[in-house]
Chains A and B, each alone.
Chain A
Amino acid sequence: MADGTSVAESQQKRLDDEGTKQRYDLLERAETMSGVIALGRGDPDLPTPAHIVEAAKEAIEQGVDEPSDPAGLPELRAAIAGKLARENGVPVDGEAGVVVTTGGQEGLFLLMQAIVRPGDEILVPDPRYTSYDVAIQMAGGVMVSVPTVEADGFDLDPAEVERRITPRTKVLLLVTPGNPTAGTITPPNVRGLAEVARRHDLLVISDEIYEKLLYDGAEHLSIGSLPGMADRTVTLNGFSKAYCMTGWRIGYLAGPPAIMGRVARLKALCSSCAPVVSQRAAIAALTGPQDAVEEYRRIYEGRRRVMVEALDDMGFTYGDPRGAFYVFVNTSSIGMDSIDFSYKLLEDASVLAFPGTGFGDQWVDYMRISYLADEPELAEAMARIKGCLA
């Protein structure tokens, strides 16, 4: 008979996806050092806009002590449905079609538990945010990677998706703008993907958490807004990236009530409800002035220019970073793999960036560098990287 303790130990391997492990090993090492310019974690350095913080403080004064409905405060769910209708053209029921989650990551975890049966295949663009692997694995799903390439700006080709569909394919996961690639799925391809989903009766999960961060005229198209897609799309979004609210742990899922009802039940089991103080802050974010969103986007745009100019100067190539706040850089020219280079960068130059292998095994010749530092600091980081190459 296996001992309970040994069961836990055997679970460790399953839970510890290699990509996340690599990222956190570097993060933990960086935490022990001083003077590190951190271009690793996707945690915006900018503060949550002041009016949102004030609203949260006011809410604390009024009392945020009682839990909400597992699906979230009705006022917040209505505001989310309003936002999706207005900005995204995605029709959802503000009561039964929205579940507020403790961050987007929990949303994806619960959704996988709600819809995946053992053996179901989930199509996931590669490279990918590997924390999602655990969600798929814990639900018994099988991840099927769909390649994307630098030359296309890591856009997702509907034909590549369709080629990988089998009788067991159940879900297509889209992330646009993407992490770690900063690529976007261009509107013609979003339309093509919708056709594929309809043709093969797939459920689409559309992770749109970076939707507000677009550059050089890139366009965001929500697949849930296309004809025949509302019934087969769950839109995942949150407040972490658009409003710099990572620490609040607040996001949402929106989609067909039949699925969202199951998600709400799971949400109750998993963590009762999202923190009420954060839900209040989220209401302020959605219903208050939106100036900060564009102001922050402009700040990122300036930093992005600093970064790509420095990368160009060093002769690196990268996928066109049309969104988010990363550049996925091709490092095949530097003469060492990106894992070694990440450690060298951290130890010799005090710059933290993640190796491409943190986002899928084969991305050994790429690195994800985020531009979550101000322009002078970024310029300094790029100079240090240049020094490391010499």
Chain B
Amino acid sequence: VNAIDLSGDDLGLPTAPHIREAAQRALDEGATHYTTRPGLDPLREAVAAKLRRENGIEVDPKLEVLITCGAQEAIFVALHVLLQPGDEALIPQPALRSHTEIVRLAGGVARPVPTDPAGGFGIDPAEVARRAGPRARVVLLHSPSPAGAVADESALRGLAELAVTRGLVVVSVETLERFVHDGAAHTSIASLPGMAERTVTINGFSAAYGMRGWRVGYMAGPRPLMAPMIQLKQALSICSPAVSQYAALAAITGPDAPVETAQRTASERRARALAALTAANVRAVEPDGAYHVMLDCRGRSNAGDELARATEQATGVRLTAGSKLGATSWLRLSLTQPPELIEEAATRLGPALAANGGAHG
């Protein structure tokens, strides 16, 4: 049986030609030197304009926007600035394990906040409040999430109220903002009342523009939060790669077509995956966002890496162990291959994972 790898992180779409050409042109024009420390001026201006236009966030491009080596570096910088030893970061689950690891590296204490699969893993502000100890400092929000959850506006309003009351800073990772399905909508929490002064919004170009290898992203927020982050970024990597910044500039100021292609791709694969999983009797949470589907394997004798391994052995389909997202009894199927392959994978997964028991049940 041929192997089908659905454990990846991206749709596998290439960077659009106009973005590549802009990068090549920049190299011809000598973009081989350091840029200004927080990032190219026109790129920071374009980021600020984008945040105003699309997200309802007002920031000063000169002092409140920082271009980073991808969203990953932005998260690393934000948590290292915001957390002092013993401070708590609240992390709604499922979430990338790397977020928890960065919190620990920064000396913080990660507090996972459970969510209800029946509610599409949506965030419950009351649950966040329950988990917040006296040292709670940060909420690390990732919506749409890598488990396909989208925080709806009422949940975000509840979260905002909690953040204001408790003096929390929200680190809002919005890298998957353009991937929402079936009427779900993305809201930037920084646009809600009282939140501009306590939110760091992080985004990038990897998911929307197929630019993961370029390592370019950004963070934006109020000046008192951003000033130390700009300092740390300088100490960490001086500035972001010049050629990648020019590529990002072409992406953010250019046509929206590459993102629309990515959206259509994700949406079609999602529909066909869900239909095929239903036909194969595999229990899955219909994702409101992103391009990942969580498969429900609760009640089985195996879990985590072992479950992923056994499933791959039985079916040739490689999935991500839910334990990598803090959801140990789940598997994640990512829509990283053409729809025919995803359908075939779903069909093969049926006997192994079917709801009424299976080979490994």
Contacts and interface: CB of A to CB of B under 8 A. Distances in A.
Check if A and B associate.
yes
Interface of A: 1-5, 7-12, 15-17, 20, 24, 31, 41, 43-44, 47-48, 53, 56-57, 60-61, 63-68, 102-103, 105-106, 109, 113, 131, 134-135, 138, 244-250, 266, 268-278
Given A8-B82, A64-B214, A250-B241, 11 more contacts: A1-B167, A5-B167, A24-B234, A53-B27, A60-B24, A102-B237, A106-B236, A134-B235, A247-B239, A275-B214, A275-B215
A272 B167 CA distance: 31
Contacts of B72: 269-272
A9 B31 CA distance: 34
Contacts of A250: 241
B231 interface: yes
Interface residues of B, number: 67
A53 B237 contact: no
Nearest to B84: A7
Contacts of A65: 14-15, 210-214
Contacts, number: 194
A65 B205 CA distance: 11
Contact of A7 (B70, B82, B216): B82
Interface in B200-218: 210-216
A31 B36 CA distance: 9
A66 to B, nearest CB: 5
Nearest 3 A/B pairs, CB to CB: A4-B169, A247-B242, A276-B213
A105 B243 contact: no
A244 B30 CA distance: 11
B81 A8 contact: yes
Interface in B229-278: 229, 231-232, 234-244
Given A131-B234, A134-B235, A247 B31 contact: yes
B337 to A, nearest CB: 14
Contact of B27 (A3, A8, A57, A269): A57
A60 B241 contact: no
15 contacts: A2-B167, A8-B169, A11-B82, A16-B228, A17-B235, A20-B234, A66-B10, A102-B237, A131-B238, A246-B32, A249-B69, A274-B215, A275-B215, A276-B214, A278-B241
A16 B237 contact: no
Given A248-B241, A271-B237, A61 B35 contact: no
A43 B222 CA distance: 30
A48 B238 CA distance: 18
User: Looking at chain A's contact residues, is the secondary structure mostly helix, strand, loop, or mixed?
Assistant: helix
B185 interface: no
B179 interface: no
A337 to B, nearest CB: 25
B32 A53 contact: yes
B81 A249 contact: no
Nearest to B216: A275
A247 B33 contact: yes
Contacts of A47: 30, 32
A12 B231 contact: yes
Contacts of B73: 102, 270-271
Of B20, B210, B229, B243, which is in contact with the most chain A CB atoms at under 10 Å from its CB?
B243
A61 B30 contact: no
Contact of B81 (A15, A63, A64): A15
B161 interface: no
A275 B168 CA distance: 33
Contacts of A4: 82, 137-138, 167-169, 198
A278 B69 CA distance: 12
A113 B134 CA distance: 28
A138 B36 CA distance: 24
A17 B227 CA distance: 13
Contacts of A248: 32, 241-243
A135 B31 CA distance: 28
Interface stretch (B98-106, B290-298, B306-314): B98-106
A267 B31 CA distance: 25
Contacts of B167: 1-5
A274 B243 CA distance: 13
B314 to A, nearest CB: 28
B81 A11 contact: yes
B100 to A, nearest CB: 10
B105 A266 contact: yes
Contact of A138 (B35, B80, B212): B80
A282 B23 CA distance: 17
B228 A67 contact: no
